Amino acid sequence: MGIISVMIIFLCICVDNMVSANMSAIKMSSEKKSIFSIKLALFFAGFNALWFTTGYILSMVFFRGWVHFANNWVAFAFLLLLGIKFMLESIEKSPSFSNVDADDTRKLVKVSTIIGLNSLLVGYAVETMDKAFLPQVLLLLVFSFGLTLVGFHLGKKTSKTIVSKRVELIAGLILIVMAVKMIII
């Protein structure tokens, strides 16, 4: 798995951040939007990095010896599961925030944790493929922060359709293709 593959996978898992931010922006007034977008992006990026690090460390400490021989299959399974999860999420409601929730740190932590759990599997898979930690986590931070801001600023109260849901479906399909690529190549 090269750096391009890792970047594509990170972009796909950060689409979940974008969808949640987009749904939140539709429900918020413009006064709260600007400050909350930065706060949300920081929380999402931080929790993605935290869960990625946790998955990476778990793989390194506990499972390195006995999973190393099947690292492609582990990465295949995790990416396939994430791809299916994203495709299913594209047809259901995503977690979002409204003006009332903008100051609710507890809900922010809860949603950030739930969305960040995708990074746990990716961190585990990246470590089994013997990739360096620091460049990967920095890429994840940048992508997560950036896509959250993009999703937040694309959301408007006048939106009739939610384009980010289609992007989530496409991200799921890409993750499935990446999973199949793991076992073919």
d(CA 76, CA 141): 23
| pLDDT score for 69 | 67
| pLDDT score for 144 | 92
Mean pLDDT of successive 10-residue segments in the chain (185 residues)?
82 86 81 84 93 90 72 81 85 77 84 88 81 86 91 70 75 89 80
Q: Which amino acid is at 54?
A: T
93 sits in the region (left: phi over 0; alpha: psi -120 to 50; else beta) called beta
| Residue 135: HSE in the Cβ half-sphere, 13 Å Cα cutoff | 9
Write down the residue that tokens 């994430």 correspond to: 82
Alpha helices in 59-162 (DSSP H): 64-67, 71-89, 105-128, 133-154
Q: Is the pTM of this model over 0.75?
A: yes
| pLDDT score for 126 | 82
Contact 97, 28 (CB under 8 A): yes
The closest of 184, 115, 169, 129 to 3, measured between CA atoms, is 129
